[in-house]
Amino acid sequence: MEKSKIAVIGLGRVAQLIHLPILSKLGNVEVSSIAEINKNRLKTIGEKFNIKQQFSDYKDLLVKDEIDAVVIATPTNTHAEIAIDCLNAGKHVLIEKPIALNSAEAKKITDTARKNKKNVMIGMNLRYRPDAMLMKSLVNSGELGDIFYIRCGWLRKQSSDQKWFVKKSQSGGGVIIDLGTLILDLALWIINDHQIKSVSVQKFNHNTKDVEDSAVGLLRLENDKVISFEVSWGLHAEWDKFHLAAFGTLGTAHLNPLRAYRRLEASQIDYTVSNSANTTNLFKKSYENELKHFIGVVRENTPVISTGEDAVSLMKLLETIYKSAGMQKEINF
């Protein structure tokens, strides 16, 4: 079986701990080349994973190496330029979230993909958790009735200690664009609804200067649906994980761990899976599923689950969220 040749551009934490270990174990994949501006890191990671094609400039990689697809795991402010160059070179692209700094850059990426007839996939790994996929199936089946309220959030320590991560010009924002991107994307995906009417958000920067480290907000959707969220790198809490609950007219489902109940006249049906995998395994499995899906997109033109078009809509939502937080008022979407 001929292997798909994949390149990884950007060798930070997520590439070292997630992308390269998983991709190197897939039988239908060859990580044929890597690119990284830090030459010491490039050499070290190349030796660790036995990757001989090493480039300090990704443009040389695109010229010299015959690859099928690229995984982009660089700082956010570089995503658009790199993705557009890769697409124009005829490569499929997986971009770690967020897709870009703003919706205008995101649209340029999707337009370029369409022009070159190549696929763009965004690394929304929460969509690929087995428990999240089960929850979406349960919601779609109608067992919980009409979902009218989703409560979600993520409280955890800062995702990266790299300097670019807390510089707005390079990251695009703070905890909203870091954790909020994932948790809101998951909520909207599970209920399959992007008909947002208005946004009201308050953000805080108690421990950071250039970007926010906490935020709480409310999204109003059509048909009287509501999503509330909280995200923080700094809130003191007894747990360090994301949570999501979907409340329907007939029942309720919770994530992390997965629990689901349907109300009957005198009792309730419990849909909870008794042998739920632990959080660490679900986190790892989400990335395994995500990368296997990307390879399916590359090899078999499988329809993309987390599309560039979804990411453009999400970036427009994030821009409205930041506008609401900056003006401290509810903003129509």
**CB contact at 8 A, 87 and 120:** yes
pLDDT value, residue 274: 59
Among 154, 134, 155, residue whose Cα is nearest residue 253: 134
Q: How many domains does the chain have?
A: 2
Position 277 pLDDT exceeds 80: no
Q: 212: which residues sit within 8 A by CB, 6+ positions away?
A: 173, 174, 175, 176, 203, 204, 205, 325
Whether 81 is covered by a domain: the verdict is yes
Q: Which two tokens stand for residue 273?
A: 């899976």
pLDDT band at 65 (very low <50, low <70, confident <90, very high): confident
What is the H or E stretch that residue 111 is in?
A: helix 103-116
Inter-residue contact 6 to 67 (CB < 8 Å): yes
Predicted confidence (pLDDT) at residue 276 exceeds the cutoff of 60: no
If asked whether residues 273 and 252 sit together in one domain, one would say yes
Report the CATH number that the domain containing residue 159 is assigned in CATH: 3.30.360.10
How high is the mean pLDDT of the chain?
A: 93
Higher per-residue pLDDT: 162 or 294: 294
Strand partners, 231: 154, 215
* Cα 50–chain centre separation: 28
Let me know whether 115 and 223 are in one domain: no
Say what percent of the chain tops pLDDT 90: 84
Give me the CATH number covering residue 62.
Answer: 3.40.50.720
Instruction: For residue range 78-126, list pLDDT tens digits in order.
Output: 999 999 999 999 999 999 999 999 999 999 999 999 999 999 999 999 9
Beta carbons of 130 and 93 less than 8 angstroms apart: no
Q: Do the domain assignments include residue 272?
A: yes
Summarize pLDDT for 222-244 with one digit per residue, the tens.
999 999 999 999 887 766 789 99
pLDDT of residue 271: 67
Query: What is the pLDDT at residue 238?
Result: 66
| 39-59 tens-digit pLDDT | 999 999 999 999 999 999 999
pLDDT of residue 267: 64
Q: What is the pLDDT of residue 162?
A: 85
Whole-angstrom distance, CA of residue 139 vs CA of residue 328: 33
Q: Of 72, 99, 125, which residue sits at a domain end? A: 125
pLDDT of residue 265: 62
What percent of the chain shows pLDDT beyond 70? 95
Distance of alpha carbon 188 from alpha carbon 301, whole angstroms: 25
If DSSP codes are grouped into helix, strand and coil, which group holds residue 182?
helix
Same domain, 25 and 139: no
The residue written with tokens 């008794």 in the block is: 274
Given 78, 103, 125, the domain boundary residue is 125
Residue type, 51: I
Per the structure, the complete domain to which residue 70 belongs is given by: 4-125
Domain check: are 59 and 178 in the same one?
no
